[in-house]
Amino acid sequence: MKETAVRIKYSFIKILHTSDLSRRRLPFMSLESVNRGPTVFLTACAHGDEVSGMVIVQEIFKIARKLLTMGSIHAFPLLNPIGFETSSRYITISEEDLNRSFPGNPNGSLAERIADKIFSTIVQSNPSIVIDLHNDLIKSIPYAFLDHAPNIINSEAYKKSKDFVQKTGLLPILDTGKIENSLSYSLINRGTPAITLELGEAYVINENNVEYGVKVILNIMEHLGMIAPSEKFFVYLPTEELRGRLLYYTSQASSLSGIVRFMAKSGDIVKKGQPIAKIFNAFGWHKETIAAKNNGIVLGHSDYSVAYPGAEIMSFGTFEETNPIINA
């Protein structure tokens, strides 16, 4: 029988000397079982306004110190303290998106230098999986996100990531864009499995989303044999129709300016051609009806009812299977 004794360590990684000669640091957390095993690495709050990931990390460490029987958990609970303190997505000093700055550069911009310290620390720990915690639109449903691009889909790290995203218990969504400088993409590209969890609204703690995040991470730990099997595997599926499906991320935009009246909500299954939103002008005249381009599920809609040409107003996980990347 494995021992449950664990070693806990809290420390910091220096990232910046400020103009008043003070130091900025990233908090770093480690929880290690006396029994060797897999390593899970958690990251949160790369976007300073996406705060619930930080609480999820805190809750996991409270729970895992009692349940962990093998392996280790490492975490950066607050990747972007500068953005967090100003409720901003960005590193406000340099107006950079940290999650578009990986794998980083020790001699680059401020965001690239911070990213380099984060990335090198993660890679040195040789994790079995990196779980990057994010928030999405206010009304969005929780889902697990997998980077998906032609130059990574045949790698061993991608294949492992694809397996992990299906073990989360959340709706697995394959990305359609190629964001090469995100943390998860950069890790997979360097041979480290990584997935992203999108867990609802930003800015404030939604306790339901915290609960989902905690249960997903416990699902992964159970899959890796780091904790004893539970009685019931956590699953969040808006409809049984989606069980076992890998969906394809897409979004739709308005072509006109005006006010949006949404006709579908997060979690709704929609059919191709189904009206999902209407655009009205200031006089209340109906100017545009937006119809779904594919069969799928609504992941979320815009946090604002302001429309303008090219404004994305709704995101979907579609059942599209003709894209050659999806079938790879």
Tokens of 200: 């609802």
Residue 5: its pLDDT value, please? 86
Residue 241: its pLDDT value, please? 81
- Average pLDDT estimate for 84-88: 95
Res 282 pLDDT > 90: yes
Residue 279: its pLDDT value, please? 97
256 vs 302: CA distance, rounded Å: 15
Domain limits of the chain? Answer: 6-223, 241-318
Integer angstrom CA distances of residue 325 from 95, 149, 187, 233, 279 = 33, 7, 19, 30, 33
Dihedral over alpha carbons 252, 255, 258, 261 (to 10 degrees) = -30
The matching CATH number, chosen from 1.20.5.510, 3.40.50.720, 3.40.630.10, 3.90.170.10, for 6-223 is 3.40.630.10
State what percent of residues in the chain have pLDDT above 70.
Answer: 96
H or E stretch including 63? helix 52-67
Res 2 pLDDT > 80: no
Per-residue model confidence as pLDDT tens digits over 36-54? 999 999 999 999 999 999 9
- Whole-model pTM? 0.94
- Average pLDDT estimate for 145-157: 90
Closest CA to 190 of 126, 111, 97: 126
Residue 135: its pLDDT value, please? 97
Per-residue model confidence as pLDDT tens digits over 100-111? 999 999 999 999
Integer angstrom CA distances of residue 277 from 103, 110, 260 = 39, 41, 7
273 vs 293: CA distance, rounded Å: 6
Res 186 pLDDT > 50: yes
Asked if the peptide bond before residue 193 counts as cis, ω within 30 degrees of 0, the response is no
DSSP state of 92: T
Tokens of 253: 């935009």
Residue 93: its pLDDT value, please? 92
297 vs 55: CA distance, rounded Å: 28
217 and 71 Cβ atoms separated by less than 8 Å? no
Residue 328: its pLDDT value, please? 39
Whether 6-223 and 241-318 share one fold: the answer is no
Res 129 pLDDT > 80: yes
- Average pLDDT estimate for 190-219: 96
Pairing of strands 143-146, 171-174: parallel
Query: Residue 321 — pLDDT band, cuts 50, 70, 90?
Result: low
For residue 123, the one-letter residue type is V
162 vs 160: CA distance, rounded Å: 5
Residue 4: its pLDDT value, please? 62
Tokens of 92: 């406000």
Given CATH 2.40.30.10, say whether it is the number of domain 241-318: no
Query: Residue 326 — pLDDT band, cuts 50, 70, 90?
Result: very low
